[in-house]
């Protein structure tokens, strides 16, 4: 309720949180490094957390940092965050666990050029189109990719400024689901189940009465057909014949 007190609750996978009839599901979680980008004069051009999307169970995460204004050129950075990094023999990093360690590492490949943000067309915040961009730090550039631990600052190539790995935050991806028809779905499901049970346990029979002229008299024949095994079919046909004969007798002799 607006203005009400805050309450603590656990939100887990397959354990939704019910808020006023609306269920909140946990879909994912990850890390959001907080970075601060400054120009050559020390003025802040960008600052804030950036969600990095996990790529494996150890939360090796991929993220994109875009700085369209405040620097001499537009800058885009494609990076990986490693909660618990370990360097492979080929120089590539992996994360050996999903837990934050003292050596948590942020690596960034830096590009300059038109990021496509000034054309009025929506752009995916979690991807970077490198076509038409110039790599100024990374495997295809003269400068190596940037490597930052929390609290460290690195120089951007070509005197563009600096970037600082300021802090680290967590984020979660959630989904909200509200269905006011759940009660009716339950009611109709129970009705369908009840109908199924009736069809399974109540015998389904067809009965016939055949009248055949026999001179001045009428000969009546009774028959029945069951769907499947029905040990009580013969008794049911006999009961109908008996009741029918009694009714005819009452009508002929009121």
Tell me, yes or no, whether 188 lies in a domain.
no
Question: Which residue from 147, 126, 143, 130 is spatially nearest to 82, judged by alpha carbons?
Answer: 147
Tell me, yes or no, whether 227 lies in a domain.
yes
Which structural domain range is residue 215 located in? 203-254
Q: Using one digit for the tens of pLDDT, what is the confidence trace for 108-133?
A: 999 999 998 877 777 888 899 999 99
Q: Using one digit for the tens of pLDDT, what is the confidence trace for 64-99?
A: 999 999 999 999 999 999 999 999 888 889 999 999
Residues 216 and 155 in one domain: no
Nearest-5° Cα angle at 17, 15 to 20:
150
The mean pLDDT value for 57-66 works out to 95
The mean pLDDT value for 210-216 works out to 83
The mean pLDDT value for 237-247 works out to 87
Residues 149 and 227 in one domain: no
Q: How far apart are CA 154 and CA 146, in angstroms?
A: 7
Tell me, yes or no, whether 60 lies in a domain.
yes
Counted domains in the chain: 2
Tell me, yes or no, whether 10 lies in a domain.
no
Residues 61 and 126 in one domain: yes
Structure tokens at 238: 């006999």
Which of 176, 211, 244 is where one domain is finished?
A: 176
Tell me, yes or no, whether 59 lies in a domain.
yes
What single-letter DSSP state applies at residue 202?
Answer: S
Give the model's pLDDT for residue 34. Answer: 97
Residues 236 and 142 in one domain: no
Residues 148 and 83 in one domain: yes
Residues 155 and 247 in one domain: no
Give the model's pLDDT for residue 66. Answer: 95
Residues 141 and 96 in one domain: yes
Q: How far apart are CA 154 and CA 205, in angstroms?
A: 86
What whole-number percentage of the chain has pLDDT above 90?
A: 51
The mean predicted confidence, pLDDT, of the chain is 89
Q: Using one digit for the tens of pLDDT, what is the confidence trace for 7-34?
A: 888 888 888 888 878 889 998 899 999 9
Tell me, yes or no, whether 3 lies in a domain.
no
């Amino acid at each position: 309720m607006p203005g009400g007190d805050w309450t603590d609750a656990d939100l887990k996978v397959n354990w939704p949180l019910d808020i006023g009839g609306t269920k909140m599901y946990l879909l994912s979680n990850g890390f959001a490094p907080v970075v601060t980008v400054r120009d050559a004069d020390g003025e802040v051009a960008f600052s804030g957390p950036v969600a990095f999307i996990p790529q494996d169970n150890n939360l090796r995460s991929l993220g994109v940092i875009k700085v369209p204004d405040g620097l001499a050129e537009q800058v885009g950075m494609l990076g990986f965050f490693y909660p618990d990094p370990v360097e492979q023999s080929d120089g590539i990093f992996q994360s050996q666990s999903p837990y934050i360690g003292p050596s948590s590492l942020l690596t960034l490949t830096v590009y300059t050029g038109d990021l496509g943000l000034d054309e009025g067309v929506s752009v995916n915040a979690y991807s970077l189109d490198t076509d038409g961009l110039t790599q100024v730090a990374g495997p295809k550039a003269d400068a190596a990719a940037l490597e930052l631990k929390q609290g460290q600052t690195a120089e951007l190539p070509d005197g563009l400024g600096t970037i600082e790995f300021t802090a680290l935050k967590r984020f979660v991806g959630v989904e909200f689901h509200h269905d006011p028809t759940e009660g009716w779905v339950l009611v109709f499901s129970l009705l369908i189940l009840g109908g199924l049970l009736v069809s399974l346990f109540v015998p389904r029979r067809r009965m016939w009465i055949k009248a055949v002229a026999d001179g001045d008299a009428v000969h009546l024949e009774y028959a029945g057909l069951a769907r499947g095994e029905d040990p009580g079919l013969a008794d049911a046909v006999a009961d109908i014949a008996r009741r029918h004969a009694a009714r005819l007798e009452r009508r002929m002799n009121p």
